[in-house]
Chain A
Amino acid sequence: TQLLEQSPQFLSIQEGENLTVYCNSSSVFSSLQWYRQEPGEGPVLLVTVVTGGEVKKLKRLTFQFGDARKDSSLHITAAQPGDTGLYLCAGTGANNLFFGTGTRLTVIP
């Protein structure tokens, strides 16, 4: 089993603050995906990173894939209440995804 640990597990911040969520593994992944899940809904894909060292930006969200392709981070600038949700990283295996333990983010207005 390829385990992905995410930290922190819970994060509660004020609107306007910056934050970083981490996704770490001892395994190498060919690519890594980030999803956001809101209450009552399924996870929604945010981004896929493929190359070691790759950085992708999605508005206020910046995703980085580690050089060794074992870890990733998600940085949110000036968080907004709409960013509230469960953030999941997922490493790609041969036929399926291995999901991380998740970070539950709450942004307080």
Chain B
Amino acid sequence: DSGVTQTPKHLITATGQRVTLRCSPRSGDLSVYWYQQSLDQGLQFLIQYYNGEERAKGNILERFSAQQFPDLHSELNLSSLELGDSALYFCASSVDSGAQPQHFGDGTRLSIL
């Protein structure tokens, strides 16, 4: 058990819809990272937050956004969903910023029909 909690575990929705994925980091960790994992592209870094502030941005689409709340949990919002957005979305956390060892949740599997 990594201590990182992601909900929901599975999400099935239709094209054009909007969903919110939630992540609670490990106790004491200030940084939260979001990744997308699809079959043909491996693990792609989306965005990082540190203590409530955006710290780094990766290959995140404009239709996607994220935030980290004062209690340090984070949400990833995906809108105008397309078939190609179907993937596993992972959240990870680390104590500090910088590329420290990250602890991953078990992911949310998003299926777009």
Chain A residues packing against B (C-beta within 8 Å): 31, 33, 35, 40-45, 48, 88, 90, 92-102
Question: Is B70 at the interface (CB under 8 A from chain A)?
Answer: no
How many chain B residues sit at the interface, stated as a range, is: 20 to 34
CA distance A93 to B109 in the complex (A): 27
Question: Is B43 at the interface (CB under 8 A from chain A)?
Answer: yes
Contacts of A101 in B (CB 8 A): 42
CA distance A31 to B101 in the complex (A): 10
Query: Number of A-B pairs whose CB atoms are under 8 Å?
Result: 58
Chain B residues packing against A (C-beta within 8 Å): 2, 4, 33, 35, 42-45, 48, 55-56, 58, 90, 92, 97-99, 101-107
- Closest Cβ of chain A to B9, distance in Å, is 9
Interface of B is mostly: strand
Nearest residue, chain A, Cβ from B109: A40
State whether A96 touches B58 (Cβ < 8 A): yes
State whether A94 touches B104 (Cβ < 8 A): no
